[in-house]
Amino acid sequence: MPWCPQCRAEYRAGVTTCAVCGAALVEERPPAERRATALARALARIVADAAAALRYALSALRLLRRNPSLLLLPLAFAAFNVVETQTGRYLTYRYTAWGRRYMRDLQGSRVHRAVPISWGRVGPAIRWREDVQRFALPVPAVALSGTAQFLLATTRYTARQTYLRREVALDLLVGLALAALSALLLAGYYGVAAGTVGTGTASWGSFGQDMRRHWFRFFLLEVILIALMGGFSYLVFALPYVPVLISAANRWREWVAPIIAFSLALPLYAVAVDDVSVKEALRRSVIITATGIATGLVLLAALALLQYAVLAPLSAAAESFAAYHRLRDLVALQLANIPWALAEKLWQFFLGVILCLAMFYWYGEASKRFHVEAVPVPAEGPVAPSLEALG
């Protein structure tokens, strides 16, 4: 099998050029190096991966500029989610006993600020962990959090065990239903995105075919992600009420969930591009993320910086707006906050589309490093996308 004399990475048969440094591959494995030389080459590999991440992001932005139709579906999801969430909160606080009592207590609080966008002292840290978790699914689909909150508000005055059982059951049912719907829509969208990255032109004619072909595997991957991340939340509920234990469990959950999401970042791309099984897609995701961690970190850092550049001044404006209306009607403020929340989500989903396309490039380049016997490639099916598709 060919090897890169610079990066010392093994490639599958038929590859002639290193996808990282561009060196010509050789047939024999390079000899072992001294520790200092190996460290220098490792640092060079990290720098090359970081530069590749920026190249992927710029290529994704150019591709999106040539194919703006790729924004239609994600931005429609964003608009629906914002309106549904804020409307659900309004109905909860206006028409349920728990909601009215909660808002009365909140109205008398001097420390409360009903701000739709939070970039305070703890905001950036919380949003950074949310971004890492969202890295596994950069283009979210339909969410019904407002509806779920309204349904749960009707059970707040029941016994605690009954309420917890209903909350868990409702979360499970809503989560599975939304996972199925999201898988159906995202399977078609990722198929179109893969074709766009491979050819340079968006073609929505294969949307329905990609939905039927990939939706079940997308559904299984989303269920795995929900189970791994949601399992930690329910585990905290099951622990005995010991402050130190609860605090440690919450801290563990905050950092383990992003690690899981980061390790499961690329299975959807493996399914959309190479049409592989769920097991093989998870395997490829873990390998690519582990061997190209610098690429993922740079993509996340760029995403966070772009978010902060827009959301920080937007948050200041939202705080001023909320402070002006706080003492009037906190319930009506839920509807008044829709434009602010909509601006936030539209920008986040726009960045999510860029991240999604960049990760297609990342997967296409990284998959070239796989050993042919270790990771079989289907004889037929979509070709892994490359940067040359854009010319």
What is the sign of the dihedral through the CA atoms of 126, 128, 129 and 134? positive
Output the 3-class SS for the chain.
CCECCCCCCECCCCCCECCCCCCECECCCCCCCCHHHHHHHHHHHHHHHHHHHHHHHHHHHHHHHHCHHHHHHHHHHHHHHHHHHHHHHHHHHHHCHHHHHHHHHHHCCCCCCCCCCCCCCCHHHHHHHHHHHHCCCCCCCCCCHHHHHHHHHCCCCCCHHHHHHHHHHHHHHHHHHHHHHHHHHHHHHHHHHHHHHHHCCCCHHHHHHHHHHHHHHHHHHHHHHHHHHHHHHHHHHHCCCCHHHHHHHHHHHHHHHHHHHHHCCCHHHHHHHHCCCHHHHHHHHHHHHHHCHHHHHHHHHHHHHHHHHHHHHHHHHHHHHHHHHCCCCHHHHHHHCHHHHHHHHHHHHHHHHHHHHHHHHHHHHHHHHCCCCCCCCCCCCCCCCCHHHHC
Q: What is the pLDDT of residue 109?
A: 54
Q: What is the pLDDT of residue 152?
A: 74
Please tell me the distance from the alpha carbon of residue 97 to that of residue 155, in angstroms, as a whole number.
10
Q: What is the pLDDT of residue 93?
A: 85
Nearest-5° Cα angle at 261, 10 to 193: 70
Residues of the chain with pLDDT under 50: 110-115, 118-124, 158-161, 327, 371-391
What is the sign of the dihedral through the CA atoms of 252, 253, 258 and 264? positive
Q: Where are the domains of the chain?
A: 71-365
Nearest-5° Cα angle at 370, 196 to 46: 85
pTM listed for this prediction:
0.75
Tokens of 310: 């827009």
Please tell me the distance from the alpha carbon of residue 387 to that of residue 58, in angstroms, as a whole number.
11
Q: What is the pLDDT of residue 236?
A: 61
Please tell me the distance from the alpha carbon of residue 375 to that of residue 283, in angstroms, as a whole number.
9
Q: What is the pLDDT of residue 375?
A: 38
How far, in whole angstroms, is CA 339 from its chain's centroid? 23
Please tell me the distance from the alpha carbon of residue 366 to that of residue 20, in angstroms, as a whole number.
9
